[in-house]
Every structure is written in structure tokens, then in C-alpha cells.
Structure 1
């Protein structure tokens, strides 16, 4: 027994999936699936057509410098955000896709180097989450990673991916205080900062035992 209320846990669904029908295969693969939900109580059987963006496994990395009581975050342009809000220059934690067959922690270390120029110290897997399960199969693992923020680059990003990131350092106090700002932000960043606000006193234990 986990000790948690099982009503709050995701579970397997009594549903049929037929497909996929490939709609687009570019930066991301887009598929259409036919979904059948069986009759339940007074509700008759339901059939649905659903488009699924296949993003696959991803990681997020909250980079912490214990010596300076600081975080390393990045700025990166995101076209969907620019279209949705007019503000495409987003503040983010390090994040990225996991390569086929790649270990999740290795992916977190690789993305840390690519997006900030920093070598990852100890990395601890915190929890998994799905940012947008209504449209994408993206399943993300969030890591806590120790770094030396003094060595962060001003400009970074994987050249082969034509990626452009701008790392910057922020005090943990200021990052947590920003949770009171109601302006839109990315789910990865909000989840990481909310975890940090609840677990700040555990950072040294988690990263240095």
C-alpha cells in the first residue's frame, strides 16, 4: 500500500484504440486515432476521433547551485507561445526530448550541457508528469541537478538542432517569490518552482546525502 488515496491515481481505461492514421510527420509526428468508450450506466457507447501529437518521453531539469543559493534558468523562443500570447521569449527550466534508447538521467545531463554549457553534478529524479495529455503523449521526468552557476554560458543550445538558449542565474528566493506573479508561464517551470517551494529544505540532503 502506498499510503495515498487511490482515487487520486491514474488507472488503465476500459477503452478501445484503433489506428494510427498518419496526418503529418515533421518536427513532431501527428496521428489520428479512433477511440471507443464502452457504455457505462446511463451513458451509451461513445466513439471519438482524436488527433495525438507524438512527443514521447522527455525530461526537465531544475538546475540548482547550492553554494550560491541560486538556480540556472534559460530563455528560449517558442513559436506556439508567440502565437498564443504574443510573448514568445519564454523563461524555462532545461528540458528536451529523450533520444531512442537513451537513459533518462543521461538525457537530463546531455540537455543541461546543451542548453547551458554546464556539466551536471548529482542528478535526482523527482517525479513524472504529462504537460498536455489532451493533445500530446509527452511524458516528462523532472530531475533536480546540481551545477556550478558561475560557469553558465551567455548563449548556448545544440547547434545541430538549430537551438538558441540564453542561460541566466536567479536567486532561489526570487524564483520562489515569482510564483505569486499571475502572468502565464510554462508548466515545466511552474511545477519545478512549486516543488522547490515545498522542498527547499531538502536540497542539500537530496543532492549531497
Structure 2
């Protein structure tokens, strides 16, 4: 059900070069009963899914490392980010998406995933909802080297790290990706590893 206190007046496409950046003008009802017209920009890149693979026998997790231009522009000297495997839904349901992305990026073919929650990652400017998953992996699930799809310009390094080292890397700032931190903390809080 739509919020009756919000009325969209106009949506203007500012850019649709990679994803879509809209300028939305709307009215909002205030607590005192008056209305106010506001304009905001919203970046629509679609919804996504993210997964943290873990192994209870070896107490390890699978993460990825790749170049992220926005972080480079904002002071990340190398632009490289250590992250959990993730991708856009591309019209798939979240579970099918994350299974596909896991195989493409990490080389692990998983069949069973557990959805743990959904979250807006930057609700002030980005429309994306991210679906969070975890899944147990074993060495026999490794069917390729991973690394992503060349035709999508992906150049992904697959990392298998001890769980405690990954947690320490959050403390040292080596891992500073929000979705990855949330997943690592989930495993710690739930006592999975």
C-alpha cells in the first residue's frame, strides 16, 4: 500500500548511461498538516543479492577482491575491495541469482542457500534492496576457478580466509564493505563459526 502522505509530481531521467539516475519531485504531508514540495535524486541500479560462503570444518569463508571505482574516487588508494560474492538480480529471483553469481565469481556450485535478511544499503540515494544469504561450502563444490565473467569486465580474485582473520580484517579496515561486515557479524553472532 502506497503512503497517502506522499504524492509523486514528476520524475525526470538525469542519466541512463549505466543505470538510471532520476530526479523525483514530490509533495509530502508534514505533522502539522501542511504539505511541502521536495526534489531528490534516486539512483536505480536494480535489486541485488549477496552471499557469504562458510566452511565449518576448516572455519573459513570465501570472499572476493576486485576494483571498485567509486571507492577509488573517494580515497581508497588502490580501489580494491574485499567483499562477499554479490550481484544484481537481472530478472531472476534472489536465490537463483545468488547461486549463479556464486558459481561465476567464486567457482563454487552451491545448491542450498539460507536467506537471512533483506536490507536497503543506502536508502537516502539508492533504490536497491539487497537480499542476504549464507551457505556452507566444501572443496568438492569447486568446479571452476571463478573470477567472474570476462564479457562483463569482471576481474575477480577469490580468497579463502580463516573466519577469525576475516573478522580481524574488519577491525584493521582491510575489509570495509558494509554487506560483507554484516554477513561476517551475522555468522559471529549466530555462532555459526
TM-score, normalization: structure 1?
A: 0.82
CA contact (8 A) 1:179 1:194 kept: no
Deviates more, 1:68-77 or 1:17-26: 17-26
**Residue of structure 2 equivalent to 1:105:** 95
Deviation >6 Å, runs of 4+: none
**Residue of structure 1 equivalent to 2:62:** 72
Deviation at 1:131, TM superposition (A): 0.7
SS in 1 for 2:39: strand
Deviation at 1:28, TM superposition (A): 1.0
1:143 aligns with 2:143: no
**Distance (whole Å) between structure 2 residues aligned to residue 64 and residue 80 of structure 1:** 28
Question: Are residues 193 and 116 of structure 1, via their aligned partners in 2, closer, same or farther at CA, if it must alter by over 3 Å?
Answer: same
For structure 2, the 5+ residue unaligned runs are none
CA contact (8 A) 2:83 2:180 kept: yes
1:174 aligns with 2:165: yes
Aligned residues: 190
Greater helix proportion: 1
Question: Are residues 122 and 37 of structure 1, via their aligned partners in 2, closer, same or farther at CA, if it must alter by over 3 Å?
Answer: same
**Residue of structure 2 equivalent to 1:48:** 38
Matches within 5 A, 1:128-207: 128-149=118-139, 151=142, 156-182=147-173, 185-201=176-192
For structure 1, the 5+ residue unaligned runs are 1-10, 204-209
Question: Are residues 121 and 155 of structure 1, via their aligned partners in 2, closer, same or farther at CA, if it must alter by over 3 Å?
Answer: closer
TM-score, normalization: structure 2?
A: 0.88
